[in-house]
Structure 1
Amino acid sequence: MRRHPYVLVANAQETLLPKLEFLCSIGMSRLDLARTLANNPIVLMRSLEYQIRPSYTFLKKVVLSDVKVVDIWKRNPWIFRGNLFKNVIPNIELVRELGMPQSCIALLLTYYANIVMKKPDFFSQLVGEVKEMGFDPQRSSFVQAMHALSGKETTWKLCQEAYRRWGWSDEDILDAFRSHPLCMMKSGKKIMETMDFLVNKMGWQSQKIARSSRVLGYSLEMRIIPRCSVVRILLLKGLMKEEELNMNTIITTYLLPD
């Protein structure tokens, strides 16, 4: 009510209830519905027949399931109140023409809908920039690169400054980005703490991390430190040799339980 007082004058039975019933019918729980509408109540003032239902139909056609449409709703409910024909549909058609598969388009809509809702001129420029950097539209890394570059004026610069403190050149940063685009979406604190542990405590060369930037995507406390602690014990006991170490393998390999 504080965010959108006009909800108070809406007809409860004819305007609000049909929308709530429709959203529940596609798998939205009442708790999730309450949370999202508390932050985006203006959705309730959009037409069910001309806005909300067509948005749902289009999204389901792209992501192929109600579950994923609900995920989109929970992450980006404002997509249900925007003009799909103005931005979203032209942008989706652009990446389709480039050969982006359904799975990557679904990823783009589910996790990065704010990018798809940008004006086509901005979106087209962003796609062109990602292509020029050598990313393949048929791979999910293309979508991740779009996400990283869309905030280039803010997060990118902060990450760039943090990596340069560890001696990375512009080429090192680009190599790291091409290997793992989300390495340019980390906080400065996360970068500094992870680099400090890997370089100063584990003795790995900073430039080698640039070529294995995927390691920067893992939790320092939950993954990197525990695994590296085991490695250090093995080294001390002579059960592993220094030259046998492969940082990328140690940190990124998925370990199945016995």
Structure 2
Amino acid sequence: MPNLTTFTEIYGNYHKGDTFTVSYLINSCGVSPRKAKELSNRINLKTPDGPNAVIDLLNNYGFTKTHLAKLVEKHPLVLVADAENTLLPKLKFFRSIGLSNTDMRKILIANHTLNRSLKKFFIPRYEILRRVLGDDQEVVRAITNSRFGFTYGDTMNLVPNIEVLRQSGVPQASITFLMINSATVAYWKHSRFVEAVNTAKEIGLNPLRTNFIVAVEMLLIRSKAVWESRFEVYERWGWNREMALQVFRKFPCVMKLSEETFAKKMSFLVKDMGWLSEDIAEYPQVIAYNLEKRIIPRFSVIKILKSKGLIENKLHLSAIICITEKKFLENFVVSFQKDLPLLPDVYGGKVKPSNVM
């Protein structure tokens, strides 16, 4: 009788016509009724004992009911796993290499990894990453930043791809940068990876610089059709092909910008601010910054100061865009506030630049 009472207390929302699975998903896992009915087509629970053991274990590793609901909605079969013999060894392994409870939650919710073998899958992948990166701290960063790559990346490509980079003179710091920031690229098909590395060299990228890694990534993820389309856009803004390649050598991330975003930034800088497209090509990093939050406010202030003859016309782009917020305020706002009291309001977007010029 006590067991029946406990069952009733726990599954008080059990309605006639609902299955035990549906009620359990709703009451113990926090899944919505609609989603619970949908999931009941994929999983059939007989008793609460096994699922309860799974939930208790996950609770011990920092899973709240909200996290549990997300996990179960994506991977309902986790509830029928053997908590003690299957799940616990894997969770212990994750913790042993330095993954926090927060990291583990993100990995497990993002990818269905708990059904993989510890000895045949997790440990070999960890050991490969350990050889590539050198220490556990970097391995943890690589796993957490690229959860998909760790779970689904083809290690048969990873090892030779990393070797190609090393043979090309790419330093360990750049390889670590790749594995932490763009790891999926490192798992790319080997022949395509080699082609991208060779193309980056032909364009003139220096393997000793981090930009080389970024260039390889851009060459892999952007198709030839996209490249040609971008060249056409660049040409409309005064960059011929050679100049565009020069920009790419300096700032490969230019290829991450959509054509629309690139055009908006160039339009403001060239048409509104009067900068030459050739000057921007000399320092293309300027177009990496946020248009509304950084580029427009800063260059609006600079345009006013130039119009008043308060600063020189040949001010370098880097002196405007790359300095810290504090330094910009000191150099170009506070310093001239006595002459132009409305300058802080222009910078804050409260007053139009035309009202001050």
- The bucket for the TM-score relative to the shorter chain is 0.7 to 0.9
C-alpha RMSD of the superposition: 2.4
Q: Which runs of 4+ in 1 moved over 6 A?
A: none
1:113 aligns with 2:189: no
Higher mean C-alpha deviation, range 245-254 or range 129-138: 245-254
Structure 1 distance, partners of 2:161, 2:138, is 19
CA distance in 2: counterparts of 1:126 and 1:8, whole angstroms: 44
Would the aligned equivalents of 1:148 and 1:156 in 2 still touch at CA under 8 Å?
A: no
What are the residue-to-residue correspondences of 1:3-42 with 2, within 5 Å?
Answer: 3-41=74-112
| Contact kept? 2:239, 2:277, Cα under 8 Å | yes
Structure 2 match to 1:134: 204
Which secondary structure state, in structure 2, belongs to the residue aligned with residue 87 of structure 1? helix
2:165 to 95, 99, 102: 95
Deviation at 1:194, TM superposition (A): 0.9
Return the letter of the residue paired with 1:60.
R
Displacement after TM superposition at 1:171 (Å)? 1.9
**SS at 1:21's partner residue?**
helix
CA contact (8 A) 2:107 2:144 kept: yes
Q: Aligned residue for 1:240?
A: 311
Give the conservation status (yes or no) of the 8 Å contact 1:104–1:139: yes
Give secondary structure in 2 for the equivalent of 1:45.
Answer: coil
Deviation at 1:151, TM superposition (A): 1.9
> Which has the higher relative contact order, 1 or 2, with Cα contacts under 8 A spaced 6 or more apart?
1
Q: Tell me by how many angstroms 1:79 deviates.
A: 3.1
Find 1:210's aligned residue among 281, 287, 296.
281
Alignment of 1:147-162 (within 5 A): 147-153=217-223, 156-157=227-228, 159-162=230-233
SS at the partner of 2:204?
Answer: coil
Which secondary structure does the structure 1 equivalent of 2:175 belong to?
A: helix
Whichever residue aligns with residue 59 of structure 1, its letter is: L
Query: Per-residue deviation at 1:89?
Result: 0.9
Give the gaps of 5 or more residues in structure 2: 1-71, 331-357
Pick from 50, 73, 79 the counterpart of residue 120 of structure 2. 50
- Find the counterpart in structure 2 of residue 223 from structure 1: 294
Say if 1:67 and 1:158 are closer, same or farther in 2 by CA, change over 3 A: farther
The 3 A distance-change label for structure 1 pair 81 and 32 is closer
Aligned to 1:169: 240
1:144 aligns with 2:221: no
Is there any run of 5+ residues in structure 1 with no aligned partner, and where?
none
Q: C-alpha separation between the residues in 1 aligned to 2:141 and 2:184? A: 14
- Give 1:204 shift: 0.7
| Displacement of 1:254 | 4.9
8 Å CA contact 1:159–1:186 kept in 2: the answer is no
What percentage of residue pairs aligned between the two structures are identical?
A: 39
Task: Tell me how far 1:57 sits from its aligned partner.
Answer: 3.0
> Are 1:202 and 1:228, in contact at CA under 8 Å, matched by a contact in 2?
yes
Q: Which residue of 2 aligns with 1:124?
A: 194
Shift of 1:231: 1.4
Structure 1 residues 256 and 69, CA, compared in 2 at 3 Å: closer, same or farther?
Answer: farther
